[in-house]
Structure 1
Amino acid sequence: SIPWKRSYTTNYDNAIELSTRLNGKNIESLCTEDNPNDYIHTSDICLHINGKIENSTIEDLESNIKLSNSSYISADSFITSNWFYHFKRDIESCSALVFVGYSLYDLDIQKFLFDNPSIKERTYFVTRKDATHEETYFLGKFGHVLAIGVDGLGSLVKENIDTIINQELEDYTESLVKNENIYDHLNIRDAEVERFILHGDIKKAHIDRAISITQSIPYLINRRYVKEVCDIIKAGNNIVLVSELGNGKSILLKNVVANLTKNGIDTFVLEDDEGDYLNDLDVLSKLDKKIIVAIDDYDKYINLIEHFNAMQPSNINFVITSRSSEHERHRHEFSAFESKFLEMSIDLLKKDEVQFFIDIIDNIGIWGDIANWDKERKTKHLIRQHHAQLSLILLDLFNSPYIVNKVQGITRDLFKNPKHKDTTFSIALIETVGLKAKSSLISELALNNEIYNGKLTKDPAFRELFKVENNIATSKSSLFSLSLIKNYFSANYIVEQLLLIVKHLNSETGRSYEESQIFKSLVKFSFIERLLPEQNRKNNL
């Protein structure tokens, strides 16, 4: 009766499958040789980490079923399987991680439960009532220990069954989350503005408040496109916003969402990309109200766009974004859709928006060589020299002596630990490709698990560059990440690290969407060329 996201077991038998069947629910038995990509959005599965006896052959005893004591003690076969990445993603997104009847001999838990407060807080170990102090003390390092036995867990479920069932109400959605504006009366500080400009990191409350207050200090350009997009949406149209790398489409979308919510329109944002967002759309289509669905970087969810086109729900409109190059790749699909999407490029800043941006940078004082110019001269310079594009203006700022000296000081300390350096590179690479920097993906590309280590995420130097919340590195400035790679990693390091990543990804079967996107980018000459420092670039290609 519990809506488990997924089940994992070290047992060979079909006890889990049988018990669910007796309760009127069928789940599919899998082992680590099955392709995880076939089950990304499927919750009704049970993965047998050590293999399964049911439907096995004699040959399976040699290859797929691990019977020796050493198989129990070592977690390496699971860690090196294609499922481990997806297991880490499940850990990131689940509301609770429950181990039932766990034995110290099952797996080396330290290899896949990390020193991470967010994971620990959501982890529960149900042990036998007479568990030893040694067992409870050890497991307590990784989560909450409930010495109540399986029967005790069953009683706990029965006592709370109404709460559990309420999660599956008809209008419950997993991935598409209704936006609620936050109006906390927080005055933004100069340090927060600087972090926003450099890293794209800003509290939601500051975006939500900026649409309805006079900014005490300038920090967010209320772009004219926002009103245009909202008017188009209110008229019952769908729209796709496109821009080049670093021109502000993600922030603009957040601004649009805040405006729609302020005007009383229920607006849903795609947050959990592993949830069943197709079913969510079905759920929302049955509600008797107008709904807007906002999707950043829609190319990751093209099946959702196709589902929307097939359904053509009368009460739902989409506002979606994409990098220009990705949208070009999908343009032929949009032309065939019956559901039409208007298109708007948001690359160029209007003159008054350029001037407001100048006010922002004047206030935090990071101009560099043009600091002493008057406002009119700066305006002409940004329009003529940088074509009124935010990305080109920011790249120039990133090369200013103030920023260069600051970041050099940060990376000098951070890169003393090679694993921390690899992890930093991994995050920057993911953001440059345009993906969400989840801890699971970061660790795959860094080829280590340091991102789960509190020692790194609490490091002041690391926190200057990135903020990790809910196992996601929340710095959203792909432009800064590109600058970080080009300017603070040597060409030799970049090439060698990319080769290691490509080799690792190429050895995997059943790569996830994110891993496939990374791999595709890394085999493109044009992408590699963008990452390398301009000095001696040809010698390293």
Structure 2
Amino acid sequence: MESNSFDEFQRRFNLARSGGGILFCGAGFSADCLNFKPDETLGTGAQLLDLFNTELHQDPPYRNLQNAADALQKKVADNGMMTLLKQRYTVSNVTSDMADLLRYPWQAVYTTNYDNALEIAAQAAHKQAEPLNNTDDPSTTTLNLPIIHLHGYVQKWDIHNIRESCVLGAESYSKLTHVKKWLSRFRHDIDQAQIVVFVGFNAGDFHLNQAINDLTGLREKAFFINRPTAQADPDVTAAQKRLGTPFFTGRAGLADTIKRLLATDAPKAPHLASFAKYTPPDPAATVPTQVQIEDLFLYGKVEPSQLARDASNDVSDYHIQRSAIRETLDAVAGDARIVLFDGYPCDGKSLLTTDLAYRLSGARPVYQMRQAYENVLNEVADILHHTPNAALIIENCFDLPAERLASIARQFDGQNGILILTSRAVAVDASTAGLTSLQGLGSFRKMPLARLNTDEARVLSDLADQIAGWRDFYALDYNARLRFIESTCQASLPHFLLRLLQSDYVANRYLEEFNKLSLSQTEREAIIIALYFTHLGENAPVSFLSNAMQTDYGAVIDKLNARAGNDSFRLVRRTGEIIQTVPSIGAQNILQNLFKDTEIVDAVVALLKNLAATYRNPFEQRMFSQMMRYSTLSDVVTDTYEINRFFEHNKQELQMRRMPLFWLQWHMAKCAAEELFDAEKFLEQGYSEADEYERRTGKTFDRRQLDDRRAKFLMLRAKKNSRTGAELFRDFKEAIELTGKILRQDDPQHYPFETLAEIVQTNGAVGHRIDDVLKALIDKWLDQLVVYARMRVGVLAPGYQRDKAQSALDNVG
């Protein structure tokens, strides 16, 4: 045990008084009240096996709990089993230290015990508690302390629920639907907890590996309270050390700690789950090395002390300090309180927010969002109540539902706090409702990350000069490099990085890094998934990937880095609770060149299957939808057979095949493959699923994307097939009507303008196949629609959407 482990326990235990304390009680918690011997074999399974063998008068005794349970069930039936368990697992009295444990302001209590000892202890502590059986609804909310009996609760058993509630061993976890739902809630609570305290826990008492995937996330906040002993069992200690930190203070020792803690003032710091407080690093004492600069450009590996050095000295020795930083500081010094940075992938938004965090932290506390949980609104309110001038940073802000983002922003409008937001330009324009809600706030400012100015281009040239192996750039003289950045790359950082990260030099560097280690199948899948998320524009939380992959993802990445040695494995790494990889352009490069299409499909399909089977919060739902998209897959998988296999596998999952947009994506894949019969069939299935959604939910499904794809499909078919006359006229008529309907709906986006351009282009290419009278009608309708579209384009939000729409109209002529 590390010397500072008890200090960390005390720190977390004190912080959790504001929320986020989870108590988990195993068999040892109430063993003395039930007259069980408190030895190392203690555990619900051991207790039950002994009890069943006694009742059966079994000699020699059963050693398998399930066999013993089956034999006793056959002998005494459900009623006899229930009566036996209720008699044996009902407590009348508890000790004073058990009551003291319940005086702490736990957020929730979990237990594998059947008995009512916790409820009696809560009563003795004058604490209002709500016992919950594993057959109760996990979404149940209660104003009182929830005591959740994962294995079942004797006081709530009856002849009707005993079989589905009573967990007799590991096998039950996979069979009992209600238990699996409660384990999902347990996982959720663990993710958000400040501290998890296990009392009376035995490694065989509860199958943690079936409940928690992100054990690396648990380890730093899990503490095991064991009975005092002169010599601890080495196997129990080893098992607990894999999951957290063991202490041998006993239940009474924990009770004393609680009494001392509650005698002091509670901390005023808010309980943080969605956010983490930013701690500014000490500036580096020396200039950055060539390796550090290259690692930043090629691998996205940030050295925080060098960022701090640049900011402290107002230099750009390590990275480009964007002019947007000064503009933002000037804006918030005035009346701006909510600032949104939007830009393209690899535009430097994350580095910019890190720079701002460092500069703002001198005058106010700064909090960075890690993952948005359901209580994020309350968390923001708590932070601002504690420190009204706090600065909060939320990257990829449109991952949040529009109404939730607006509710967060309203807490800053006209106040002292500062809200810094980032988003990809595409997401900004795809989330018109979210952007509109922000624009309605008086202290909102939108700051697009524009082209590099001349000074920034010079800094980029100087920094890129450190990448000596990129000979295409290194061979240029100073003025030629500057022209390359300002003209060839259009003074765009993403364009520059596209050239760099797709160069042969970088491809070879990635290959060298990849070949450092001999990777297992699990490790290859873990790398693929991390890179795929980066390709989507996300750095995924460890807990999300662990739960989605049903493995301890953090441990997989930690082992990779441990094997790689001092340099670490630079393609994928864990930074706190976030998985980071190379920049998104580099991630696409690696997926395209270092993995087979079949590997990528297998990994993503498995992840989608796991996600389909679980409850998903808004972030997880968005990732679920994004990973299903053909446009995302086709960037890194080109084999038509593998793309089709991707959709065939996903079709097997009810949740996916019920989604109209799933069929829309498959339709797009078939259009790209020019398999038009299947493309039309899948689009029709999308419409059918939309009808079914409306019947099932009573809600209206937005068919705009389906209608737009229908119009595009009709034009594709017109060009690929030999349709003529009335048939072709009807196709044009339907496409024009659908596009007009979309353009006239609220919150238009760029894609119907592009469809209109396609219709005009197709009319020019195949219109001669229609007789003159019908052709004249089509020309008239198109002329009218183009005139309307030119007026309508002004409604679109400035930026990506309006630029794309205007570009399409420019092509109309």
With the shorter chain as reference, the TM-score category is 0.7 to 0.9
Residues 1:417 and 1:203: Cα distance change in structure 2 (over 3 Å): same
Asked if structure 2 preserves the Cα contact closer than 8 Å seen for 1:292 and 1:318, the reply is yes
Shift of 1:125: 1.6
Larger relative contact order (Cα-Cα within 8 Å, sequence gap ≥ 6): 1
After superposition, residues 180-259 of structure 1 pair within 5 angstroms as: 180-187=279-286, 188-213=288-313, 215=315, 218-237=317-336, 238-259=338-359
The residue aligned with 1:11 is 113
- Provide Cα deviations, 1:63-93, integer angstroms capped at 9, x if missing partner: 3x13424558x78979993565665565566
CA 1:233/1:8 → structure 2, altered by over 3 Å: closer, same or farther? same
1:445 CA drift (Å) = 4.2
- Taking a change above 3 Å as real, the CA distance of residues 121 and 278 of structure 1, as seen in their structure-2 partners, is closer
Unaligned runs of 5+ in 1: none
Partner of 2:636: 531
Alignment partner, residue 327 of structure 1: 428
Q: Which amino acid aligns with 2:453?
A: K
Any conservation in 1 of the 2:216–2:552 contact (CA below 8 Å)?
A: no
Give the whole-Å Cα distance in 2 for the aligned partners of 1:33 and 1:385.
63
- What residue identity is the alignment partner of 1:525? Y
3-state SS, counterpart of residue 531 of structure 1: coil
**CA–CA distance in structure 2, aligned partners of residues 256 and 519 of structure 1:** 31
CA apart distance, 1:420: 0.6
Q: Which moved more, 1:99-108 or 1:127-136?
A: 127-136
Q: 1:317 to 1:30 in 2, by over 3 A?
A: farther
Q: CA shift at 1:417, angstroms? A: 0.9
Structure 1 residues 495 and 75: alpha-carbon distance in aligned structure 2, compared to 1, 3 A threshold:
closer
Q: Secondary structure at the match of 2:361?
A: helix
- How far apart are 1:504 and its partner, in Å? 2.2
1:481 aligns with 2:584: no
Partner deviation per Cα, 1:184-235 (whole Å, 9 max, x = no partner)? 33433222222211232213332222123165x8321011111111111221
1:367 aligns with 2:470: yes
- Determine whether 1:428 maps to 2:551: no
Q: Please state how far the C-alpha of 1:374 moved relative to its aligned partner.
A: 1.4
Question: Contact (CA 8 Å) 1:125, 1:139: kept in 2 or not?
Answer: no
Is the contact between residue 267 and residue 294 of structure 1 (CA under 8 Å) also seen in structure 2? yes
Distance 2:473 2:412 in 1: 54
- Tell me if structure 2 keeps the 8 A contact 1:366–1:400: no
Q: How far does residue 118 in structure 1 lie from its aligned partner after superposition?
A: 7.1
Q: Answer yes or no: is 1:391 the counterpart of 2:494.
A: yes
Residue 494 of structure 1 pairs with residue 608 of structure 2: no
Between stretches 233-242 and 106-115, larger displacement belongs to: 106-115
CA separation of 1:170 and 1:470: change in aligned 2, threshold 3 A:
closer
Report the equivalent of 1:155: 256
CA displacement 1:448-476 (0-9 Å, x = unmatched): 33532553341218622233243432447
TM-score, normalisation: structure 2: 0.58
Partner in structure 1 of residue 713 of structure 2:
none
- Map 1:81-230; keep pairs closer than 5 Å: 81=180, 87=186, 91=190, 94-109=193-208, 119-129=218-228, 133=233, 136-142=236-242, 143-162=244-263, 165-167=265-267, 169=268, 175-187=274-286, 188-213=288-313, 215=315, 218-230=317-329
Q: Secondary structure at the match of 1:183?
A: coil
Change in 2 beyond 3 A, CA 1:43/1:399 = farther
Counterpart of 2:743 in structure 1 is none
Report the alpha carbon displacement of residue 390 of structure 1 after superposing the two structures with TM.
1.7
Rounded to whole Å, the distance in 2 between the matches of 1:116 and 1:373 is 50
* Distance in 1 separating the partners of 2:543 and 2:384: 32
Number of aligned pairs? 532
CA offsets 1:297-333 (integer angstroms, 9 cap, x no match): 2223442541442685622232211112222233324
Distance across 1 between alignment mates of 2:171 and 2:262: 37
- What displacement does 1:114 show? 8.4
Q: Does 1:270 align with 2:373?
A: no
Distance 1:421 1:429, change over 3 A: same
1:520 maps to 2:520? no
CA distance in 1, matches of 2:256, 2:480: 73
1:430/1:442 contact within 8 Å kept: no
Residue pair 1:428, 1:485 contacting (<8 A) in 2 also: yes
Judge which range, 252-261 or 4-13, deviates more: 4-13
2:386 equivalent to 1:283: no
Of 477, 481, 485, the residue aligned with 1:378 is 481
Q: Retained in 2: the 8 A contact 1:182–1:209?
A: no
8 Å CA contact 1:277–1:304 kept in 2: the answer is no
Using the alignment, how far apart are the partners of 2:284 and 2:361 within structure 1? 18
Could you tell me which residue of structure 1 aligns to residue 759 of structure 2?
A: none
Closer, same or farther in 2 for the Cα pair 1:295/1:515, shift >3 Å? closer
Is the contact made by 1:443 and 1:449 (CA closer than 8 Å) also made in structure 2? yes
Structure with the greater alpha carbon radius of gyration = 2
Which has a greater percent of helix?
2
CA displacement at 1:528 relative to structure 2:
1.6
* SS of 1:335 mapped into structure 2: helix
Cα distance change of structure 1 residues 110 and 459 upon mapping to structure 2, 3 Å threshold: same
- Which residue is 2:802 aligned to? none
Q: Which moved more, 1:44-53 or 1:451-460?
A: 44-53
Aligned to 2:560: 456
Does residue 1:306 correspond to 2:407, yes or no?
A: yes
User: Structure 2 vs 1, CA of residues 522 and 468 (structure 1 numbering), >3 Å: closer, same or farther?
Assistant: closer
Distance of 2:150 and 2:248 partners within structure 1: 24
Identity of aligned residues (%): 19
Secondary structure of the 1:473 match is strand
CA contact (8 A) 1:126 1:150 kept: yes
Aligned partners of 1:32 and 1:47 also within 8 Å:
no
- Superposed, 1:287-298 pairs within 5 Å as 290-298=389-397
Cα deviation, 1:396-442, whole Å, max 9, x if unaligned, reads 21222222122112223546311110111121122333334322222
- Structure 2 residues without counterparts, runs of 5 or longer: 1-102, 646-668, 670-813
Q: 1:141 to 1:213 in 2, by over 3 A?
A: same
Equivalent residue, structure 2, for 1:261 = 361
Partners of 1:76 and 1:449 in 2: how far apart? 22
Give 1:360 deviation, angstroms.
0.7
TM-score relative to the length of structure 1: 0.84
| Alpha-carbon distance between aligned partners in 1 of 2:640 and 2:245, rounded to the nearest angstrom | 53
